[in-house]
Structure 1
Amino acid sequence: MNNLPPLAERMRPRTLDDYVGQKHLVGPGAVLRKAIESGNLPSMIFWGPPGVGKTTLAYIISQGLSRPFFSLSAINSGVKDVREVIEKASLLKQGGQTLPVLFIDEIHRFSKSQQDSLLGAVERGIVTLIGATTENPSFEVISALLSRCQVYILQHLEESDLLALLNKAMTEDEVLKHKNITLKEHEALLRLSGGDARKLLNIFELLLNAIDAPEIVVTNDAVLENVQQNMALYDKAGEQHYDIISAFIKSMRGSDPNGAVYWLARMLVGGEDPTFIARRMLILASEDIGNANPNALLLAQSCFDAVKVIGIPESQLILSQTAIYLATSPKSNSATTAIGAAIALVKQTGDLPVPLHLRNAPTKLMKNIGYGKEYKYAHSYEGNFIDQDFLPEAIRGTIIYDPGNNARENEAREKMKKYWTQRYKY
């Protein structure tokens, strides 16, 4: 058995009919399945969480269309590796072979220059690119390359999908089908795997190897006793990736610098991408601090820029400084609430006309029909303020921004009460 590949590899599906999950893409009549069956395959990006079958799907596509398959990982490949693969693909094309598929795992980790090296090959039709990413490609893939790719979103596997994988392994795997296995409980298996099919099968195999008995009964206690102690403290490609970043964000939102730095350290020791951490802090600076301390956004942006320039290990100091600053800053979600309320109002009321006095009047005709006529230039009045309406008539007087209860926004509230006495009365 030691000479066999791992269970996850042995159970890797070879056809779309064996593929588990993603029915919205590869089920009967689904968009990607139609493209595959037609043979008219675009370059594409698979975006989704770990362990949902991105790599497997790329391989199934290439094999189903009888195309040469090249695979690179962005973690350990550079521009030189990309160019070598493209050169091989170009020779195949010149030799009259079918268009090769080039699969790039974790394409979000490629630098701009590395992605640029792919662009020409995609444009010239030397390869069909399939990139896989766990991050939003809109932020991580250069626009020129992204515009030439179709983005397909892969979803978390359902509980029924994961159980189907386990049952399939017990009945069809060349090793497990000869064992007497009873799956009495499965909750711990699913929780530890975090919905990652590959990790689920690895955990299952680890458990079965740890139990030396003629009959193996899988229970939650057995899983926790035999597997959990052997798992890594932080798996940046699994469930804990999301759990720990959640704990990190909630610690800063909850104004606990100790929790914030602890979870930051957990991510750094586990090898998390520092730009991912900095990006999340940038979001939090507006979402949870906002106008209670506008400098938080400036520091978070500086942190993000510095991390990209400096890298690890030095940037861990900048990340720590920023996390502590954000955790100890006053909190307000008033800006988040305001834009949410405004968007809901727009969806509810539709395209309300802009009041005439607020409209631009670049031509004489527009001026003659009243565009901009009643507009009052605030700087021409005492205190640089004059009472006038800036909302469409149908929603005039609506309060969208409600200042938070903190020193800076309490000051803003008093100013609003002074200016807009009929709106901000409290």
Structure 2
Amino acid sequence: MSDQNASIRKNLKVSMIVIGDEILNGRTTDLNGSWLAKYLFKMGLEFKALRFIHDDIDEINQALSASLDESDIVITSGGIGPTLDDKTKNTLANFFQKKIIERQDVADIVTNNYIQFGRSWLPSQNHYHFFPEDFIATNNPRGLAPGIVYFEKSRNKLMMAGPGVPREFTEIVEKEFFPLIKKYFSDRFQENYQTVLRTIGVAEETIFFELCPTLWTELEKFGKVSSLPHTIGIDIVISYHGNLNEHEKTRADIQKLVQNSALAKHVWQYGNKPLNEMVLELAIQKKVTFSLAESCTGGLVASKITDLSGSSSVFMGGVVTYANETKIDLLGVKPKTIEDFGAVSIEVATEMAAGAILKFKTDYAVSITGIAGPTGATADKPLGTVIIGFATKNKTQARRFLFPGDRIRRKERFSDMALMTLLKLMNDEI
């Protein structure tokens, strides 16, 4: 890909107009804008602007003018229904100086939209089939109102109007609008890719000011660089345009660069696969089983595992031993261990893991006990303290960590650290 083509494709811009009084008066929360931002980024288009307006003719006209001036593609959501307060279709026709006429091709699309819900449609029911001349009507995979599309040849601009209901909007964009975008802008369309470096055990400022002070600049040679916190570390994201072959080469070059740097030992994944999926896939690949003993996370780790299909083949079960009595009764933790060291301790976490592996007869077991807050802290065990225990048939150990955040955020971090511990355990890294 030449630098010139890369520049042209990168500048394919999209603006969005969200139309609806119910959003601006607070009765409904917009979900379409945030979804579209993620989708456009994934598909390699630049999201230029997002506007919220009333279902008002003057406001729609003003928003259309501004959006078409700044972008190649304008997508609207809302205002295409059959009720009197849905003014988008007529306003769009007037804006582009097109007449509203009765169209049989649109009537056929509306009929099919109704049929998919087991309903029949008659022209007397509404005015869906009265449609601007020269406009394109699209199917609505999850709704009744057809999508509205117009390509302005003189300016090479594409306008697309979809429904406001999120489930309808996402389907119509993916299945109807996006193929048309690729059709009209085939010479400018290109995928957007990311390479993600997922780190653990090192702070953001340490990475870029101490370990690798030139890394950011070196990564910028490949694309746009951003640094984002995740539950147990820092994600470094490099975004760029290209085809699949170019992406694979870029990813390999980035990986080679990082593997030769001081950051290499802190990178646990060159990608963005969810941690629970990595744990499950590795356990299935190795044909091993595991179990869990949770306290402060209240079953959150087990929930993340069982969110995935196929987990029953390797995850034998878990227990939530929130009270000290259940740690003793269900896992065999010694009362004296709790008395001497406290429930949040290396010693108790170790016995919890040992109890779980014995109880469930698994190859591996992980335990979690900690202080999620906002109460329960002591001088030597501050809020955010968590002990992760782990056991195999040959060893039992535990490690202590400290995480910031509120109660909910800490539970997320505790659970992800437990999953990370299990991943490293199965990889023989601890």
Structure 1 and Structure 2 fold alike (TM over 0.5): no
Q: Report the TM-score, using the length of structure 2 for normalisation.
A: 0.25
Q: Report the TM-score, using the length of structure 1 for normalisation.
A: 0.26
* Structure number with higher strand proportion: 2
